[in-house]
Amino acid sequence: MTDPARQPVVAGVYTTAMSRRSGRSGLSHALEALKGALDDAGMQLSDVQGLYPMVNQWPAGPASSNWYLHFSNWAGQLGIPIRWFTGGVNAAATGAPAILDAAAAIASGNIHTAAIVLGGAHPTRTDGRTAVWTRHGHEFTGWTGSYTAVQFALVARRHMLEYGTTPAQLAAPAAAIRSYGHVNPAAVMYGRGPVDVDTVLESRMVADPLRLLMCAQVNDGGGALIVTSAERARDLPDPAIRILGGADQLCYPAYAEAPLLEHPLGGPFPTGWVDDGFARAGVRREDLDFLSLYDGFAIWILTQLEMLGLCGAGEAGPFVESGALELDGRYPTCTDGGCMSFSHNGTPSLFRPIEAVRQLRGEVIDDCPDSESGVHTYDKTLCRRVRDPKIGLAMSMGPPTGGGNFVILARD
C-alpha cells in the first residue's frame, strides 16, 4: 500500500493562449506553460525532479541525435538536474501515461515532484490543406495519397457497416463537443456555435463519412501539469486532485499502419487492461461524473466509449444520439471543446487531463455571467460546468489504435 504521504496528486495546471497562428515556437509555449503550472501550484522550478516534455518542433541535426538533444537540452536550459526522465512512443505519452508514470515514481519514493509539459506551433503545410503530421513518411499508405483523416474514415465506415451506425450518430459527439467550445472563452472556436447535428452534417466532406466538423482543428498552444506528493501538497494554495489510477495499452503502430477495429492477427483487441485500470483505481464506471476523451475524429469518441465499457460493442451510436455527452447527459464529455474546438496543437494529449482537473477544482470559465466567481447557471447554452463532479476520467489516446490510455482523477 502506498504511504499516504506519498499519495500522488495534481497540484497545478496551465494552458497558454490557443490561436491559429501565434508567431511563436512550440518551445516558447511549453516554457510559458511550465512556469504557469508551477505558479498555479505555488512551487518553484527547483522543486521539479521529474520531467516529461513534448514539443512538436525538433532540433536540427541527424536523426540519431535529435532524440537525445530533445530531452537533454531541457535540463541544460532549465538549469536543474532531472532525476526522472522517461520517453514515450508518441505525443500521447505526455498525457495519461506520463501522469501514471510520474505517480508511480512519486509513490515509490524515487522523486517527489514531476512536470509534464507540451507545446506546439503550427507547422508549415506541405500542400495547403493538411497538417504535416497527417502525412507521415513512414505510413504504408503514403504512396496512395492517403492521410490520417482518410484512414479513420475507413474505420468509421466499417463501424457503420458492422453496427448500423448512422451519419447523425457520428455527428452527435461532434455537435456536443463543439458546443462546449462555443461557450469556452479559451477555445480557438469560441463563439462559433452553438452547433447541432444538422450543422455538422451540413459541413463539407473531408473523407467520407467524416465531415469537416467531425475532425480536429490545427493551431498553436501549450500546456503543463504538476504532479507531486500529498505531503508536499498540504501547504499549497489550491486543493490537490488525487490520481486514483488508470491504464495504458499499445498493440501496434497506429500511425505507421492503418487503424483497425480488430486486431490485425484476428479477433477483437483485448480490453482486460481497461478493467484492470478501473480496479486499481477502485472506481466503477457508474462512479464517473464526466469524461475527457480524445476527439481527434468523431469516430474516436464512439470507439472509446465502447472500449471503456460505458456501452456495449456497436452501441455507441445510439448512446451518443441520446444526448449522453451533453451537459445534462450521463457523461458530459470534452467540456473544454476538445481537439475539435478548444485546441489541437499537434501534441494535445495533456489538455484532456488538464480539463478534468479544472472541472474537479471548479475552475471553469464560460459564458455564465458570474463564472469567474465560480457561479454557474448549468444552462447548456451558456455553461460547460459539470454539476458537483467528484470523479472524472481523462483519455489521451484511444481506439482505433489497438489500445489507449486513461487516468482517473478525483477531488476530496
A 10 A CB-CB count for 107 gives 16
Are the beta carbons of 409 and 289 closer than 8 angstroms? no
Q: Which residue has the higher pLDDT, 54 or 194?
A: 194
Phi, psi of 306 (to 5 degrees): -70, -40
User: Is residue 227 predicted with pLDDT exceeding 60?
Assistant: yes
Q: How confident is the model at residue 67 (pLDDT cuts 50, 70, 90)?
A: very low
Q: Residue 129 to residues 136, 147, 149: CA-CA distances in angstroms?
A: 15, 11, 12
Say what percent of the chain tops pLDDT 90. Answer: 66
pLDDT at 138: 47
pLDDT at 125: 53
Lowest mean pLDDT segment, chosen from 222-226, 245-249, 365-369: 245-249
What average pLDDT does this structure show over 193-212?
96
Q: Which helix (H) or strand (E) holds 105?
A: helix 96-107
Q: What is the pLDDT of residues 293-316, one digit of tens each?
A: 999 999 999 999 999 999 999 999
Q: Give 409's DSSP letter.
A: E
Q: What is the pLDDT of residues 123-153, one digit of tens each?
A: 655 555 666 555 555 445 555 566 788 888 9
Q: How confident is the model at residue 31 (pLDDT cuts 50, 70, 90)?
A: very high
User: Is residue 64 predicted with pLDDT exceeding 80?
Assistant: no
User: Is residue 60 predicted with pLDDT exceeding 50?
Assistant: no
What average pLDDT does this structure show over 77-105?
82
A 10 A CB-CB count for 71 gives 16
User: Is the N-terminal amide bond of 400 cis, ω within 30° of 0?
Assistant: yes
pTM recorded for the entire structure:
0.92
What is the pLDDT of the chain when averaged over all its residues?
88
User: Is residue 402 predicted with pLDDT exceeding 70?
Assistant: no
Domains parsed from the chain with CATH numbers: 4-125+220-247 (3.40.47.10), 145-218+256-410 (3.40.47.10)
The residue count of the chain comes to 412
Strand 404-410 to strand 205-207: parallel, antiparallel, or no bridges (unpaired)? unpaired
Q: Give me 179's grid cell.
A: 458546443
C-alpha Rg value of the chain to the nearest Å: 20
Task: Give the residue carrying C-alpha cell 465502447.
Answer: 306
What ranges in 1-95 are assigned the alpha helix state H? Answer: 26-41, 63-78
